[in-house]
Amino acid sequence: MRGLSLLQFFVRRLVTVVITLFIITAIIYGIVLMAPVEARAQLYMGRNIRMNLPEEIYERYLQSIIEEHGMNDPYPVQYVRWVSQLLQGDWGWSPVLRANVFDLLMERTPATVELTLYSLLLFIPLGLLSGALAGWRRNRAADHSFRLFAFIGTSIPPFILGLMLISIFYVGLHWFLPGHLSIDESMLVRSSEFKSYTGLLTLDGLLNGRPEVAVDAARHLIMPVVTLSVFHWATLGRVTRATIIEETNKGYVTAAQARGLSERRILWGHAVPNVLVPSLTASALGAAALITGVYVIESVFGWPGVSKLITNSMWYPDVAMASGFAVYSVLAVLAVMILLDIVQVIADPRLRKGGEVS
């Protein structure tokens, strides 16, 4: 992008997000409409109503639901109506959980955000640092060690790693506790004395002047965050290592060495800034895997995030929760990608100056 200002850069990203949302939501709603009208209308009924109503009354009730929700309208009409409802915060009613889908998702979002945020803060710096050092010291002990651990990190599925860590650190050593909070801290958080400022317990504990809550929340976060971060650390580290190796063969590195610059200055002052953009781009492309991994880790560790909603509604069809969860997941992936774009802009001086970036 040549001569592109910072504002134009973000406007272009936002336009891309809007187009992506349009395409994906159109596909999601199209999949929902593939089901017969009667089958979709039945999902608005409770199971007891369906079983207890006489056949004639049941058919009338079914037709009234179809007419009320316009289920026989053309696809474009139904899609526009659905999107407009989403924009107004009406994501539908979950007959299984007996609550508004949007309210349920927002209630559990802080726990998911907290887990995702600390995972990003862990694996991005570690991936860049370890990958850069391994690539710079290619075929040395540090490189061999990194490649071994990175291979292990990408070979073990996150849910298997989570179960292994639970058996070692929860069951065996009793170092950490499962769940979100300990009993005493959980009772304190639910009391009227504790105010929720951000929804992130590690921050709200400090803002409420209760550091014990923040410390307890951090202890419960350690294992889920580590489990979620390992795979992405290994992936980012491998990309960084490969890119650093390419940089070492370029002329500016040879010229810097000829001028007598120290190895540390060449690596961190010249080589690493040039690998930040491709490395962070690789992380952005893996944003979908990160969000999916968050849901898996939440299930493994009993984390009270949004994944709990979809697992609780698996035993009975809940189209409102399923479609709402799908849209929520798309938004989460796009949010992570935008966040990594911001980090990329901060890291790359060419973007800050409105120059060219590949």
Tell me the DSSP string of 256-287. HHHTT--HHHHIIIIIHHHHHHHHHHHHHHTH
The pLDDT of residue 47 is 58
Pairing of strands 93-94, 99-100: antiparallel
The pLDDT of residue 55 is 73
User: Is 131 in contact with 238 (CB distance < 8 Å)?
Assistant: yes
| Residues contacting residue 260 through CB under 8 Å, at least 6 positions apart | none
The pLDDT of residue 3 is 43
CA-CA distance, 179 to 217, in Å (whole number)? 10
Total-model pTM: 0.82
Domains and their CATH numbers in the chain: 108-305 (1.10.3720)
- Segments of the chain with pLDDT less than 70: 1-6, 45-53, 312-317, 347-358
CA-CA distance, 185 to 226, in Å (whole number)? 23
The pLDDT of residue 106 is 92
The pLDDT of residue 357 is 41
Give burial (CB, 10 Å; 0-12/13-18/19+) of 270.
middle
The conformation of residue 89, written as its DSSP 8-state character, comes to T
| Residues contacting residue 201 through CB under 8 Å, at least 6 positions apart | 114, 180, 181, 189, 213, 214, 217
* 99 membership: H or E segment, kind and range: strand 99-100
CA-CA distance, 333 to 288, in Å (whole number)? 5
The pLDDT of residue 113 is 92
